Every structure is written in structure tokens, then in C-alpha cells.
């Protein structure tokens, strides 16, 4: 049975917090592959103008190039409308069939809202969740979700990296260095393409 991890996110831009989380999940849960899935229009981020998908995907590609266990899927980018995890997992079930176990990897901030996710009842039957610790969203005392969710959400302790894409965008906008927060090629890409020069948050 193949074990596939799905690492969803806006990745605007991808940073070391994402990469460390994906690698820790791969190792601890013995995943054969972690697929990064950049979102199209994420349902919870309607207010901010999100960078062009082609920039976000390219940065993911640069960031994962050196890890043979990491791949990228553009399924959410290519799908019309909002990006829901339920549709993404359906796509993976179609591709891998019943011969794969699917683990959806999220940071602890996202898992807190899991119960409100679109088609969650359906989703929970098709995959498990890995909920990674993230600075500011600690759940060292465990988390309590009603059955059957609790049984399918596995906590993962990840080396704490207090990095967020929002922070990288705002640092870039005011001309601060983002070196060592994102892979070097991603840093170069951001500068060459003039991304995040303007503050664009709401
Ligand atoms: P933004 O600041 O724009 O919300 P972000 O840094 O939260 O960006 P996302 O693309 O929203 O990045 O996150 C994708 C996934 O990665 C989410 O499940 C999120 O919880 C997780 N994640 C992001 N940063 C970290 C981090 N530093 N440590 C652990 N998990 C993280
Ligand atoms: Mg986020």
C-alpha cells in the first residue's frame, strides 16, 4: 500500500516552514511521496490579491527540486472555482485508486477549522490528517475533536519555525532581507520577478 501525503497551501511564497513540515510528515508517517498542491482560489483568502498561480507553482518547483520524494500537482490551479480539499482528495483517489492511503498534511492553525471544511463528512472517510505544530498554534495538550474526526487526525511535532508567507511578503515590501527564510532560488525568483514589492494585505 502506497502512502501519499498531500501538502496543500497558497504557497505565496513557499518557505522553510512548509518544507520542514512536509519532510517531518514524510519521515514520521513513512510516506512514499509528498505532493505539494498550490491552491487556486482558496475559500478563506478571498480578501487578498493572491499572486499569479504560475509564480506560486514555479517557486514550489524550485523549492522541491532537490528532494526526490517531493512532487507538485496543479490540480487545484487547473480546477475552476474555489479550492476545496474534498475535491483534491477525490482527484488523488481517482489517480491512485484504492492502492494508496492518503494523508492530508496541515499546520495546527488549519486543523482547528477542520470541522467547518466543505464536505468534511465525505473527506474524513477518504483520508487521514496530519496536524503539524506551528508556532502560535500550539496543541501540546492534544486537541479534541468529536468522533470520527479525532481518530483520523494525527498530531506531528515539527521543529518550530515561526515563518509565514505573510511575514515574507511584508518584509519584502519594506525591503528587509528574507534570506534563510526561503530557499535561495525562491529568494532570487522573488527579486527577479519583483514579487511582493507592494503591501497588499487586508
Ligand atoms: P499566509 O501567511 O499567507 O497564510 P502561510 O505561511 O500560513 O501563509 P499557507 O500557504 O497558508 O502558508 O500554508 C500552507 C500550509 O502550511 C497550512 O496547512 C499551514 O498551516 C502550514 N504552515 C505554514 N507555515 C508553517 C510553519 N511555519 N510551520 C508549520 N506549518 C506551517
Ligand atoms: Mg496560512
Average pLDDT over residues 5-34: 97
CB of 129 within 8 A of CB of 154?
Answer: yes
Pick the closest to residue 41 from 73, 12, 84 (CA basis). 84
The alpha carbon of 192 and the centre of ligand 1 are apart by a number of angstroms equal to 24
The 2-9 sheet, strands edge to edge: 70-72, 33-38, 2-9, 100-107, 128-132, 153-156
pLDDT of residue 131 exceeding 90: yes
User: Is any ligand 1 atom within 6 A of the Cβ of residue 107?
Assistant: yes
- Look at ligand 1, atom 9, and give the residue with the nearest C-alpha: 9
pLDDT of residue 200 exceeding 70: no
CA distances to 12, 13, 70, 72 from 33, in Å: 22, 21, 6, 10
Degrees, nearest 5: CA angle 17-21-24: 140
The alpha carbon of 11 and the centre of ligand 1 are apart by a number of angstroms equal to 8
Mean of the per-residue pLDDT values of the chain: 91
pLDDT of residue 111 exceeding 80: no
Three cell numbers, residue 175: 525591503
Q: Give the pLDDT confidence score for residue 83 in this predicted structure.
A: 82
Q: Give the pLDDT confidence score for residue 145 in this predicted structure.
A: 84
> With bands split at pLDDT 50, 70 and 90, how would you rate the model's confidence at 45?
low
Three cell numbers, residue 153: 487526525
Q: Give the pLDDT confidence score for residue 46 in this predicted structure.
A: 60
The alpha carbon of 25 and the centre of ligand 1 are apart by a number of angstroms equal to 14
Three cell numbers, residue 164: 509565514
Per this entry, what is the length of the chain? 202
DSSP state of 51: P
pLDDT of residue 113 exceeding 90: no
pLDDT of residue 202 exceeding 60: no
Q: Give the pLDDT confidence score for residue 140 in this predicted structure.
A: 65
Which of the ligands is closest to the CA of residue 85?
1
**Among 27-36, 79-88, 91-100, 108-117, the least confident range:** 108-117
Strand partners, 103: 5, 128
Amino acid at each position: 500500500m502506497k502512502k501519499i501525503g498531500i501538502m496543500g497551501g497558497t504557497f505565496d511564497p513557499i518557505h522553510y516552514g512548509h518544507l520542514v513540515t512536509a519532510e517531518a510528515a514524510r519521515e514520521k508517517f513513512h510516506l512514499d511521496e509528498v505532493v505539494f498542491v498550490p491552491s487556486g482560489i482558496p475559500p478563506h483568502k478571498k480578501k487578498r490579491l493572491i499572486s499569479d498561480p504560475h509564480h506560486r507553482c514555479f517557486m514550489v518547483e524550485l523549492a522541491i527540486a532537490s528532494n526526490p520524494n517531493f512532487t507538485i500537482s496543479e490540480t487545484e490551479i487547473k480546477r475552476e472555482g474555489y479550492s476545496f480539499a474534498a475535491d483534491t482528495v477525490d482527484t488523488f483517489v481517482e489517480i491512485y485508486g484504492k492502492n494508496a492511503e492518503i494523508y492530508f498534511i496541515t499546520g495546527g492553525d488549519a486543523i482547528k477549522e477542520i470541522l467547518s471544511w466543505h464536505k468534511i463528512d465525505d473527506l474524513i472517510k477518504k483520508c487521514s490528517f496530519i496536524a503539524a505544530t506551528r508556532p502560535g498554534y500550539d496543541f501540546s495538550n492534544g486537541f479534541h475533536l468529536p468522533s470520527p474526526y479525532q481518530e483520523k487526525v494525527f498530531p506531528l511535532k515539527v521543529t518550530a519555525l515561526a515563518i509565514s508567507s505573510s511575514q515574507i511578503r511584508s518584509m519584502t515590501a519594506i525591503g528587509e532581507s528574507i534570506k534563510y527564510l526561503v530557499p535561495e532560488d525562491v529568494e532570487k525568483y522573488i527579486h527577479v520577478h519583483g514579487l511582493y514589492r507592494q503591501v497588499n494585505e487586508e
